[in-house]
Amino acid sequence: MTFQDLFANPPKRYTLVPFWFLNDALEEDEIRRQIDDFEAHGVYGFIPHARIGLPDDIPFMSERWLHFVKVAVDHAAAKNMVVFLYDEGMYPSGSCAGQVAAANPRHATRCLERRKTATLSDDEELVAEIDGYAYVNTRSGGTIRGVQYGMDDGEPGAPPSGDILNPESVASFLHLVHDRYAETLKEHFGKTVQAIFTDEPSMLGRGHKRGVQPWTWNLETFLERLLGYDFTPHLPALWDDTVPGSARYRADFQRALDVRLREAYYAPYQAWCEAHGVALTGHPAGPMDMGTLRHFHIPGQDIVWRYIEPYQDKSLEGPQSTMAKCSASAQVNYHRERNANECFGAYGWDFTCDEMRWLTNWLLVRGVNLLMPHAFYYSVRDKRRDERPPDVGPNNTWWGDYRRYADYCRRLCWMLAEGRQVCSVAILCTPTQLPWKAARVLFEHQWDFNYLDTESLLGEAEVTFHGIELGNMRYKTLLVEDGVGIDPDVLARLKPLIDAGRAAAFGRPVPALPPLAATPPELMVWLQQHLEADVHLDPPNTGVRFHHVRHGRDHLYFFVNEGSDALSCALKTAARGDAQWWDPETGAPIPHADPTQLALAPREGRVLRVTGEAKT
C-alpha cells in the first residue's frame, strides 16, 4: 500500500482503546449494542473496566462478571476489534477487589510504624526497638476503590489492598484474576485480547495510616542483601532528618523499595503475560517512574485530574509535565513497539472538545502512540455520571462527530508507531527522576529529545566519541541537568562522549563535566555548536512542538501549535527533498500549501511529508 493509502486508512490496531466503565446492571444485548456503536464511530477496541455502580450480584471476578466480559470479548472478536483486560475492581491494582487479603490476611498491605510502645497485636511483628521507639510491621490499613456502592474511599466496604511487595501475595493476585481470565477467554488470548492493564499499584493502599513507611514480611533481610549493610539500626532516619546520614539512608531505602517492587510485582507480572501471549500495559504510580516501565510490553502513563491543561506552565513544568516523554522514551530505551497514555480522566463535565484536542496533540507530539481515553460510560444513570467524569465518548455532545477525531488519532498513532524517530539529543535521568527544566527549553526552541535512564546507559547503550547508541537511536549530545543521574560509574561510561565535548551540564555545574550551559541562551548556543537544528522557524515561536519520524525515504514531521494564538512563520527542516503538507483530519494532502511556511491555528496539528534524504 502507498503512503497515501495508509495515512488515509491505517490498520485498525492503531485505534483508540477507551476505558469502558461497566457500572450498572449488565445486559448482553446492550453490551453488543454499545460495541457496535463504538465501531460505527471509528473506535475498534476497548478496556472493559469494572466500575462503581455495578450491582451487588456482579462482584468482580464472579462467574457473572466473567460471563459478561466473555460476551463483550466474543462480540469484539467477531468484529475484529481489540480488547485490553483491566486487572482490578476498581483500583489501585494488586488485590482482586480485596480477595487477596480475604484468602490470606497476611497478604494485606503492610507498613512500618514507629510507636512509643512495643505492644503488639496478633498480626504484627516487632522489627526493632531503638532509642525508646518500637518499629512495628503492621497492616497499613490501606484499601482500594471497590465496584459496588458502599465500597468507595472511606466507606465501610472499601476492599483491603494487597501487599505488592510480597511475592506470595502477588502470586495470589495473578491466580485470582489472571488465571481465571486466561481460562475463561483462552481462545481469545493473544488474538482479540492483546494486553492486560495494571493501574498505579500502591505499596500502602489508599487511605493508609499516616506517618508510616511501606513494608512487608522479612523486608529487613532484603534490605541487607540489596544494600550490603544492616539497615535496621538506621530505621530512625526514615522519620527523623536530624539523624546523621539521614538523606543517604532515605535514598537507599527508596531505591530498595523500587527494586523490591520490580522484583515482587512487575517481573512476575511480565513473565505471566509473556507466558500467555499478551502484553503488560498500564502505568505505575508516579509520572516519572520510568524504571518500572522496563517490565511493560507497552509502557504507559496517565494524564488525569487536570494535571496538564492548555496554555498553562504546568504543561512544561514539574513532574507531571514529563509523563508523555517518560513513556515515549521508555519505548525507545526498552525496545518496545508502542507506548500508551490513559487520558482525560476526572477532567470534569466542563471538559471541552477543544481541551480534548489540545491534550491529544500534547501527547502525540511527545511521541505517545496509543491513546486510552478515560472513559466511555456504560451508564450515566443517577450518580454514576459524576464518578470521575466526564464521559468522553457516547454520552457527550461531540459523539456525533467522533469518527473524525478517532480517525485523526488512528492516523497519527500509526505514523508515530511505524516510523523511526529522528532525534539527536538525550537528557540523562534516573529510573525515578526525570528533569524538566532543560526539557522546557528544548520544547520552546524546537529541539526534540528523549530521556535516557542510567540503567540503560550502563547496560545496553554503546558510548563513543560520536554519541550514544541505544537500539535504533543515536544521540549525538547528552544534557545533564543539575547533576541528576551522575555518579562515578555513569561518568566512566560517558568518558568518550565527555572527551569529545558532546555532553554538557545544564543548571548546576557537574564535576568532571566541563561544559556548563547554565542558562537557556547558553544551552541554545552550545547545541547549535554541535548540531544542525532539525527545525528552524523565522520568526521564532515558543508554542510550536514537533516530532520527526522516518518511513523509508519519507521524513514525516508532525507539528503542533500549543500556543493560544494562530501562528505563521517561515520553516526550514534538516530533511531535504520534495515536501508537501498533509492534513491528519482528512488523511489527504493539502493542495497549494507552501511547505516553506508553517501556519497553524491554536490546537492544530499538521504533517509535513519530505521525500528524500536527511542530514540528521
Residues 94 and 106 sit within 8 Å (Cβ to Cβ)? no
Phi/psi region, residue 285 (left: phi>0; alpha: psi -120 to 50; beta: rest), is: alpha
Round to whole Å and give the CA distance between 553 and 410: 22
Task: Give 544-571 pLDDT, tens digit per residue.
Answer: 999 999 999 999 999 999 999 999 999 9
Cell 491555528 found at: 601
The mean per-residue pLDDT over the stretch 5-19 comes to 96
Residue 200's Cα: distance from chain center in Å?
10
DSSP 284-330: -SSTT--GGGGG-SB-EEEEETTSS-TTSGGGTSSGGGGHHHHHHHH
Q: What class is the 538-611 domain?
A: mainly beta
Domain ranges of the chain: 423-533, 538-611
Cell 540503560 found at: 456
Round to whole Å and give the CA distance between 416 and 191: 23
Question: What is the pLDDT at residue 580?
Answer: 96
- Indicate the DSSP class of residue 14: G
Question: What is the pLDDT at residue 2?
Answer: 85
Amino acid at 112: L
Question: What is the pLDDT at residue 395?
Answer: 97
Task: Give 108-150 pLDDT, tens digit per residue.
Answer: 999 999 999 878 988 999 999 999 999 999 999 999 999 999 9
Residues 90 and 51 sit within 8 Å (Cβ to Cβ)? yes
Per-chain mean pLDDT for the chain: 96
Sheet holding 193-199, edge to edge: 279-283, 193-199, 82-86, 45-50, 19-22, 376-377
Question: What is the pLDDT at residue 385?
Answer: 96
Residue 417's Cα: distance from chain center in Å?
16
Amino acid at 421: Q
Residue among 356, 368, 347 at smallest CA distance from 300 = 368
- The answer on pLDDT for 514 being more than 90 is no
- The answer on pLDDT for 437 being more than 90 is yes
- Indicate the DSSP class of residue 424: -
Q: What share of the chain is helix, strand, coil (3-state, %, to 5)?
A: 35, 25, 40
613 — pLDDT class (breaks 50, 70, 90) = low
- The answer on pLDDT for 586 being more than 50 is yes
369, three cell numbers = 502512540
Amino acid at 205: G
Specify the higher pLDDT residue, 347 or 509: 347
Q: For 10-29, b where at least 16 C-beta lie within 10 A, e where not — what string? A: bebbbbbbbbbbbbbebeee
DSSP 433-465: ----HHHHHHHHTT---EEEEHHHHHTT-EEET
223, three cell numbers = 534490605
**Total residue count of the chain as it appears in this document:** 616
With a pLDDT cut of 90, the percent of the chain lying above it is: 95
- The answer on pLDDT for 518 being more than 70 is yes
Question: What is the pLDDT at residue 513?
Answer: 86
Q: What class is the 423-533 domain?
A: alpha beta
Cell 480477595 found at: 99
- The answer on pLDDT for 515 being more than 80 is no
pTM for the full predicted model: 0.96
Cell 485523526 found at: 408
- Helix (H) or strand (E) segment spanning residue 591: none
Task: Give 321-345 pLDDT, tens digit per residue.
Answer: 999 999 999 999 999 999 999 999 9
On the question of a common fold for 423-533 and 538-611, the answer reads no
